[in-house]
Amino acid sequence: MEKIRVVHYINQFFAQIGGEEKADIEPVLMEGIVGPGLALKSGLGDDYEVVATVICGDTYFGGNIEKATKTILDMIRTYKPDLFVAGPAFNAGRYGVACGAVAKAVEEEFNIPVVTGMYKENPGADMFKKDLYIIETANSAADMRKAMPKICRLAKKLVNKEEILSPSEEGYIERGIRVNYFNERRGSERAIDLILKKVAGEPYGTEYPMPVFDRVPPNPAVKDISKIKIAVVTSGGIVPQGNPDRIESSSATKYGVYDITGMESMTKDKFMTVHGGYDRAYVLENPNLVVPLDVLREMEKEGVIGELANYFVTTTGTGTSVGNAKAFGEEFSKKLVADGVEAVILTST
């Protein structure tokens, strides 16, 4: 009996090529199993064969999505796969976006089952959950032993054209797709059961979950901006030349705080942008377009603002998870408050 052919996609880290310093490698095709492909093969069983593994650096893919996707599709084509598995990416944002983009392209190009896995706050999950089955994982690779068997179970069901049950039963991230079904008990009876469980303090769950929106009430407006200290916070990726803290061009996992004491302007010899996803030419020539230090210094001298903080806070916004962004803000806001900053100008690209 001919085995079911599987192609696996992973990034440079899981291929054990390297970390961030190797994130710019172009797509590479390897015969057979690499890295987590061992767990994939074990979970799929003897009827499946991982015939090839495609590896691509996260930074390269993020900066060359169309070109990288076409190259990867061409690499895969010769293997005539019956199943495609990407990742899992856990909470690695750029990796998650790459897994989602490649899996969607493979599904559309070859009309075969595709599966990937991500943490629920990975930006790739939100981008591709309506297009793909994405197994929900924990936020780190420590969850590989639990995540890969779930990926394999769902993959085999897709290959065998079995009925795919609800997200809670199969373990995939809710796709926002509602399906009609017939229940043996009428709705009023089920509703009463839920009420009784709630009253009794027993576990219960709605059949119609609603999205949760994080609402943050705005602070009162500043009464007199000429008497307060202001700081600049940006998601535009402005960093000192050379990007000393290696802030990622997308799906950032870190932020930077950089000194501007005594500076009248953001000059191109000292600052640059690492932000991906848009034409950076103008900002590379004039970083003041994102961190308007030149204008703010004039306003400071004219008394329009009381004082400008002697540093700015920066990260990149493209693909950065809500969880990471929230954690950044909770951390650097303590420094701002301690330094007497009473208002922030938030700039982007």
Rounded distance between C-alpha atoms, residue 28 and residue 319, angstroms: 24
Residue 146 phi, psi dihedral angles, 5° rounding: -90, -35
pLDDT of res. 162: 95
**pLDDT tens by residue, 215-236:** 888 888 999 999 999 999 999 9
**pLDDT tens by residue, 128-176:** 999 999 999 998 899 999 999 999 999 999 999 999 998 989 999 998 7
Share of the chain above pLDDT 90, in %: 77
CB of 274 within 8 A of CB of 243? yes
With cut-offs at 50, 70 and 90, classify the pLDDT of residue 85. Answer: very high
Better pLDDT: 262 or 252: 262
Check pLDDT > 80 for residue 321: no
What mean pLDDT is predicted for residues 28-52?
Answer: 96
pLDDT of res. 176: 79
**pLDDT tens by residue, 65-77:** 999 999 999 999 9
Query: What DSSP character marks residue 23?
Result: T
With cut-offs at 50, 70 and 90, classify the pLDDT of residue 258. Answer: very high
Rounded distance between C-alpha atoms, residue 34 and residue 14, angstroms: 8
Smallest CA-to-CA distance from 91 within 326, 321, 316 is with 321
Residue 232: partners with Cβ closer than 8 Å, 6 or more residues away: 291, 292, 293, 296, 308, 309, 312, 313, 344, 345, 347
What mean pLDDT is predicted for residues 267-284?
Answer: 91
Check pLDDT > 80 for residue 180: no
pLDDT of res. 53: 97
Strands (E), 194-324: 229-234, 238-240, 256-259, 271-273, 307-314
What mean pLDDT is predicted for residues 262-277?
Answer: 93
**pLDDT tens by residue, 107-137:** 999 999 999 999 998 889 988 999 999 999 9
With cut-offs at 50, 70 and 90, classify the pLDDT of residue 317. Answer: confident
Better pLDDT: 210 or 163: 163
Residue 60 phi, psi dihedral angles, 5° rounding: -60, -45
pLDDT of res. 225: 94
pLDDT of res. 249: 85
Smallest CA-to-CA distance from 85 within 184, 145, 7 is with 7
Check pLDDT > 80 for residue 178: no
Mean of pLDDT over the chain? 92
Strands 114-119 and 83-90: parallel
